Amino acid sequence: TRASSKVIKVEAPYGKPVDAEDVRRAGKGKKINIIGFAHGETSTGVVTGIDPYRKVADELGALLIVDTVASLAAVPLDVDRQRIDICFSGSQKAISAPPGMSPITVSPAAEEVFRKRKTKVQSWYFDLTTAMNYWGKDRLYHHTPPISLIFALREAMRLVAEEGLEARWERHRVNQLALIAGIEAMGLDLLVKNPADRLPTVTAVMIPSGIDDVKVRNQLLDEFNIEIAGGFGAVKGKIWRVGLMGYCSQKPFVLLFLAAVEKCLLDQGFRVPSGAGVGAAIRSYSQVETAAAVSR
């Protein structure tokens, strides 16, 4: 690696999370300093549970680093209770602030590791030990902050607080459920088979055989102003990745997307029961709303 550390990779098939048990087995009897993983894996739309990893990290005496770029403010997460040593994210996904910033939290245990370093961190900007001197009472100049982005992030966080984290998690869940209901009603499959493993912000849809991947994505963009992502690596040309994050996770977008996909598929000769996707999504919303009304 760039930082000359030794890394043991533990893998899982595309569409499934890496089992924390496999990580425990791989680390057993070795000196493991850090265990790291992505809470939300955007390349496949898989969500990975944090608690089993914390348990393994405790057993192995390792710090736990969690990438929450695609999950923060969209998927249940409790940095303190789940004792994440380093949790980092991006500003531009479910928080829906402009890109250019990476929120990060550091636990006292991780801070102690930084303070005990004997060699300097090679990157000035990534050196939290000097940034700490800015946060501390010295307030020593570290770098010129991107103030306009910071104000934008503050406003975005205000909107998150106004909606409420729990309400935001629920909104992402409900909109994805409707999207999935619509996708499946059109006869399409998902890459992630187990519903519990599905990342609420990114849904990976299997491209039906005979359908031109790029043509559909271009038509969605040109005709409907909707941009979705293709797959890369082993799933290139095999999946579409549909993002429902922050501002974009809303009912009108889900319904319009399903209608637009039906049009694109029909134009390529793929036969879908008329209005099936939109109809199924509407029924999914109605069921969730009725259930919520009953429980109230």
Alpha-carbon distances, residue 112 vs 108, 126, 214, 291 (angstroms) = 6, 16, 49, 48
Q: How far apart are CA 133 and CA 117, in angstroms?
A: 15
> Is residue 159 at the binding interface for a second copy, with CB under 8 A as the rule?
no
Task: For residue 134, state whether it binds a second copy (rule: CB under 8 A).
Answer: no
Establish if 225 lies at the interface with a second copy (CB under 8 A). Answer: no
149 phi/psi in degrees, rounded to 5: -70, -35
Q: Which of 92, 176, 249, 284 binds a second copy (CB under 8 A)?
A: 92
Asked if residue 15 binds a second copy (CB under 8 A), the reply is no
Residue 25 touches a second copy, criterion: CB under 8 A: no
Structure token digits, residue 55: 């348990």
113 in contact with a second copy (CB under 8 A): no
| Nearest by Cα to 181 from 199, 196, 150, 203 | 203
Q: How many residues bind a second copy (CB under 8 A)?
A: 22
**With binding defined as CB under 8 A, does residue 145 bind a second copy?**
yes
Q: Cβ closer to a second copy: 36 or 279?
A: 36
Smallest separation (angstroms) from a second copy to the CB of 31? 22
- Shortest CB 152 distance to a second copy, Å: 7
Q: Provide, rounded to whole angstroms, the least separation between the CB of residue 146 and a second copy.
A: 3
Which of 10, 121, 128, 165 contacts a second copy by CB under 8 A? 121
Residue in 30, 78, 109, 124 binding a second copy, rule: CB under 8 A: 124
Question: Shortest Cβ distance from residue 125 to a second copy (Å)?
Answer: 8
Rounded distance between C-alpha atoms, residue 205 and residue 239, angstroms? 5
Nearer residue to a second copy within complex by CB, 148 or 194? 148
CB of 149 to a second copy, least distance (A): 6
Q: Which one among 26, 79, 113, 152 touches a second copy, defined by CB under 8 A?
A: 152
Q: Which of residues 199-218 bind a second copy (CB under 8 A)?
A: none
CA distance 210 to 212: 7
Closest Cα partner for 48 from 80, 85, 22, 81? 22
Cα–Cα distance, 296 to 244 (Å, whole number): 27
The residue ranges that bind a second copy (CB under 8 A) are 2-3, 90, 92, 98-100, 120-127, 144-149, 152
